[in-house]
Amino acid sequence: MLYPQQNDKRNMLDLSGFWDFKLDPEEIGESEDWGKGLPAPRQIAVPASWNEQFQDTRDYFDIAWYAREFYVPQGWQDQQVFLRVGSANYAAKVWINGKFVGEHYGGHLPFALDITGAVAWDTANTVAIQVEGKLASTRVPPGNVGGRGGASSFMAGYPNTSFDFFPYTGIQRPVILYAIPQTRIEDVTVVTDIDGTTGSVNVKVTKRGNATTGELTLSGEDENYLAQLDFAGDLAETEITIPNARLWSPDDPYLYALTVTLHASDSEAEEAVTDRYCLDVGIRTIAVEGDKILLNGKPIFLTGFGRHEDFPVHGRGLNMPLIVKDYALLKWVGANSYRTSHYPYSEEQMMMADRTGILVIDEIPAVGLMFEDGEEAIQTRLKLCKQQMEELIARDKNHPSVVMWSVANEPMPPNMMRRFMGGGENTEDDNKTALGTAFFEEMFALTRALDPTRLVTVVSIMGGPVEWLNLSDVICINRYWGWYTQSGQIEAGAEFLARELDGLYAQLGKPIIITEFGADTIAGMHSDPPEMWTEEYQAEFLRAYLDVAATRPYVAGLHVWNFADFKTGQSTRRAGGLNLKGVFTRDRRPKMAAHLLRERWTQPQKE
């Protein structure tokens, strides 16, 4: 799943813009041939979620259709033509000129379809994409599961999800038309290592077609390193050694430029070049040793946030200026990392992380998983989680910024409240917990097999079973002592946190990141002494957690929940349909807490 690029051998056209759009609540589009074009459509922007572009689509999650015309340049005739959708949430089906060409399931990862046989070269083509966003308990993430605490509970929200963010729907990332050579580079996998001051870059290339040789050039620090690619079957592997390598890190996110060239014959001549692909390479290692996370062999303390892809009107749509703004704010506040809570973010976000030196915990959309509804439903979700992890690793494996995979956020143990309050034995619950343990053992095994070079974690809820946590390389916990419990009592919450952390470390002996902690805060509301929902309370709450962590060497990172206020469903807990735990408002103005974090995080951190 190489990101499309344009060079002398590859071409692409971005189909972003206004598209025809039509809701299909009766599900008649397929039988009435909407794949050829939409009757009486309205106009919609792509990419963007559909929910906030019109008044009647906010809570619409059923089928809707997108369509537009495009031409394929004549010069692409001897190449293979693909249509690539960056993200269509949740399920998508695609037609070209009325011919069905493929489908994809799962809302936050790209898919590409070979449409060479379906396009016309001498006339306009029509692409139609059907998107369906139904909330179902057998999807990942699950919807319509009764909400947090059950449908009849006062905690339940609308729309009804197992997670706390708005289920934005539609074509949320660009649709790209691209053409690549028949004999071509199919995939590139880069793994870097360090030995003293020497860096090594191991490159695996898979190709298609009858080429037998190729070449690599790695450029950086005014040097070019060359290596020959000799294919055995469709695979070639080689390693480049770089003396005095300039390592990638948040302080110096240095990227070497790797160019892979494929030759159609054994000749070295330029005419023999059939394909070329370029990739940024950051030379770095990531590991855990004792209670430390090591980047390039040195302890690193992670400062940062859980985030969301979220903005008014765009919804979850790719928003390039917002990416630029957010990374500038991350740097301003002294953050060196974030987690893609609670789904894979755009590829453009990953590129910006590489370029600006931000470490990423990369998460699949496995948020709000539960183990209450029987073996069949659990197996269905497991299959989907595996598919999403496979697709995510295929997409993000070459980003130096990505240092850890997260297999899930806050999977719900049975009878969470009972566990949470320290409740006693219960065999039925223990059996369900065991189902969860088996589920996560499979997820960890798969993730480690696909990528043995990065760390793997599962992010745990308050009261989450220790046997799930213990599978992780780094213990990641979300905690709200002093907010959802010990409400109004920051000190009591912090004392509870301190005791819990010491206990967890004594039991597990691994580094701990608090991947969420925070307090809802209405910007502009103040009180002294601090009261819940005020800026003072948020600042003092965060300060208390920072202080507890500062005296505990095994705490390896702090991710505040959340970077910015974000849209949720409607509920009694979410004023204005927003989660207000951002240290920036939804339009990116700093609350008091942002200044506190900047003061603390722009000082040297403990290691």
Cβ-based nearer residue to ligand BDP, 205 or 461: 461
Contact 140, 384 (CB under 8 A): yes
Q: In sequence order, which residues have a C-beta less than 8 Å from that of residue 383 and are 6 or more positions away?
A: none
- Enter the tokens of residue 332: 């301003």
Query: Which one among 516, 535, 540, 565 touches ligand BDP, defined by CB under 6 A?
Result: 516
For tokens 């959340």, name the residue.
562
Q: Is residue 478 at the binding interface for ligand BDP, with CB under 6 A as the rule?
A: yes
Q: Is residue 24 at the binding interface for ligand BDP, with CB under 6 A as the rule?
A: no
Cβ-based nearer residue to ligand BDP, 10 or 108: 108
CB 163, min distance to ligand BDP, A: 6
Dist CA 518 CA 150 (whole Å): 24
Cβ-based nearer residue to ligand BDP, 220 or 365: 365
CB 409, min distance to ligand BDP, A: 5
3-state secondary structure of 385: helix
Q: Tell me which residue of 292, 280, 285, 278 sits closest to 353, measured CA to CA.
A: 280
| Residues 336-355, interacting with ligand BDP (CB under 6 A) | 342
Q: Is residue 309 at the binding interface for ligand BDP, with CB under 6 A as the rule?
A: no
Instruction: Determine the length of the chain.
Output: 607
CB 165, min distance to ligand BDP, A: 6
Q: In sequence order, which residues have a C-beta less than 8 Å from that of residue 243 and are 6 or more positions away?
A: 197, 198
Query: Which one among 409, 457, 472, 585 touches ligand BDP, defined by CB under 6 A?
Result: 409
CB 478, min distance to ligand BDP, A: 5
Cβ-based nearer residue to ligand BDP, 82 or 163: 163
Q: Tell me which residue of 542, 548, 560 sits closest to 505, measured CA to CA.
A: 548
Dist CA 36 CA 17 (whole Å): 19
Q: Is residue 581 at the binding interface for ligand BDP, with CB under 6 A as the rule?
A: yes
CB 319, min distance to ligand BDP, A: 20
DSSP summary character for residue 346 = -
- Cα pseudo-dihedral 456, 462, 468, 470, rounded to 10: 70
Dist CA 318 CA 603 (whole Å): 33
Cβ-based nearer residue to ligand BDP, 49 or 409: 409
Query: Which one among 164, 309, 363, 429 touches ligand BDP, defined by CB under 6 A?
Result: 164
- Enter the tokens of residue 480: 């709200």
CB 315, min distance to ligand BDP, A: 17
**Which amino acid, 213?**
T
| Residues 177-236, interacting with ligand BDP (CB under 6 A) | none
Q: Is residue 363 at the binding interface for ligand BDP, with CB under 6 A as the rule?
A: no
Q: Tell me which residue of 89, 66, 87 sits closest to 18, measured CA to CA.
A: 66
Q: Is residue 579 at the binding interface for ligand BDP, with CB under 6 A as the rule?
A: yes
Cβ-based nearer residue to ligand BDP, 521 or 579: 579
Cis peptide before 338 (omega within 30 of 0): no
CB 568, min distance to ligand BDP, A: 7
Map residues 457-476 to x or -, x wherever contact with ligand BDP holds by CB under 6 A.
----x---------------
| Closest CB to ligand BDP: residue number | 164
Map residues 368-407 to x or -, x wherever contact with ligand BDP holds by CB under 6 A.
----------------------------------------
What's the alpha-carbon Rg for the chain, to the nearest Å?
A: 25
CB 341, min distance to ligand BDP, A: 6
Cβ-based nearer residue to ligand BDP, 240 or 580: 580
What's CA 136's distance to the chain center, in Å?
21
Q: 10 Å Cβ neighbour count for 275?
A: 25
Count, residues near ligand BDP per rule CB under 6 A? 11
Question: What sign does the CA torsion over 109, 113, 119, 121 have?
Answer: positive
Query: Which one among 410, 429, 451, 535 touches ligand BDP, defined by CB under 6 A?
Result: 410
Cβ-based nearer residue to ligand BDP, 37 or 157: 157
Buried b (16+ CB within 10 A) or exposed e, 114-151: ebbebbeeeeebbbbbbbbbebebbbbbbbbbebbeee
For tokens 């919804």, name the residue.
315
Q: Is residue 20 at the binding interface for ligand BDP, with CB under 6 A as the rule?
A: no
Give me the active site residues, please: 410, 516
Interface ranges with ligand BDP (CB under 6 A)? 163-164, 342, 409-410, 461, 478, 516, 561, 579, 581
